[in-house]
Amino acid sequence: MENGEIRVLLADDHTMVRTGLRLIIDPQADMTVIGEAKDGLEAIQKVQEVEPDVIVMDISMPNLGGLEASRRIKREFPEAHVLILTMHDNEQFFFQALQAGADGYVTKAAPEWELLTAIRSVNQGNCYLNSSVTKLLVGDYLQRLKRGDRMQPYDLLTDREREILHLVAAGHSNREIADILSISEHTVHNHRAHLMEKLGVHNRLELLKYAINQGIITADA
């Protein structure tokens, strides 16, 4: 982020959608569009070229879809934040987006102010879900309770957060994890904070107990 502006990359296969997003984002004093991509492959290339803070990513695109593009971007450029912007408002795509490492999920039916709020939120390292997705998840959770099902917090972790959970539970420090995964220590800290929040634990001892209870590691590991 340069001069206090959030650098945004738009990835959508529809030119009119990208144009509309520019008209929403560029007038904001704290953000600017610094590039566009028409598919997932171009999005990955653009991330390397222009180093955006936030990538606003569609899911359904030719050549390479937004979910796989998000997964590769988060693996190769962990400091970048991915905000999924899609027409899909069902839990299947939402959980797939989380698994791909997306930092936020907003539907195209959302109002303009919510998109801007989401961009600012994920840029600060937060996870953002727009209201329609939140209602969907709450409804699904209530249905699970009625059936006697239990939602497992581990299922909400991204692939990267699961990697870090295993390494923390195995006794590695943030610096060691950063070296193992070839990412910055700051990124490890952020992922660790997010996964602990999702799991409802507050320190390494509670995290270790969780890992043992879930069979991630054994008590004598």
Is there a single domain that holds both residue 33 and residue 70? yes
Which one of 142, 165, 199 terminates a domain?
Answer: 142
Is there a single domain that holds both residue 128 and residue 161? no
**Confidence check: pLDDT of 145 > 60:** no
Residue in the block written with tokens 């984002």? 25
Is there a single domain that holds both residue 103 and residue 195? no
pLDDT of residue 151: 55
Is there a single domain that holds both residue 164 and residue 136? no
- Cα four-point dihedral sign 18, 21, 22, 25: negative
- 203: domain CATH number is 1.10.10.10
Is there a single domain that holds both residue 126 and residue 189? no
Strand arrangement, sheet containing 81-86? 31-37, 6-11, 54-57, 81-86, 104-107, 128-129
Kindly state whether residue 218 falls inside one of the protein's structural domains. Answer: no
pLDDT of residue 172: 85
Which residues constitute the domain of residue 128?
A: 6-142
pLDDT of residue 5: 94
pLDDT of residue 221: 45
Is there a single domain that holds both residue 163 and residue 203? yes
**Confidence check: pLDDT of 139 > 70:** no
Kindly state whether residue 219 falls inside one of the protein's structural domains. Answer: no
Place 117 in a pLDDT band, splitting at 50, 70 and 90: very high
Kindly state whether residue 130 falls inside one of the protein's structural domains. Answer: yes
Residue in the block written with tokens 């600012």? 120
Interatomic CA distance for residues 158 and 170, integer angstroms: 18
Is there a single domain that holds both residue 37 and residue 125? yes
Is there a single domain that holds both residue 181 and residue 113? no
Interatomic CA distance for residues 75 and 208, integer angstroms: 25
Q: Where is pLDDT greater, at 37 or 103? A: 37
Is there a single domain that holds both residue 29 and residue 71? yes
- 22: domain CATH number is 3.40.50.2300
Is there a single domain that holds both residue 94 and residue 159? no
Is there a single domain that holds both residue 158 and residue 137? no
Kindly state whether residue 220 falls inside one of the protein's structural domains. Answer: no
Kindly state whether residue 45 falls inside one of the protein's structural domains. Answer: yes
What's the domain count of the chain? Answer: 2
How many percent of the chain have pLDDT more than 70?
86
Kindly state whether residue 148 falls inside one of the protein's structural domains. Answer: no
Is there a single domain that holds both residue 121 and residue 173? no
Q: What does the pLDDT average to over 9-13?
A: 97
Kindly state whether residue 194 falls inside one of the protein's structural domains. Answer: yes
Residue 87: which residues within 8 A CB-CB, separation 6 or more? 60, 107, 108, 109
Which one of 107, 122, 142 terminates a domain?
Answer: 142
Q: What does the pLDDT average to over 151-165?
A: 81
Tens of pLDDT, residues 166-205: 888 877 888 999 999 998 888 888 888 888 888 888 877 7
Which one of 117, 142, 167 terminates a domain?
Answer: 142
Kindly state whether residue 147 falls inside one of the protein's structural domains. Answer: no
* Residue 129: strand pairing partners: 105
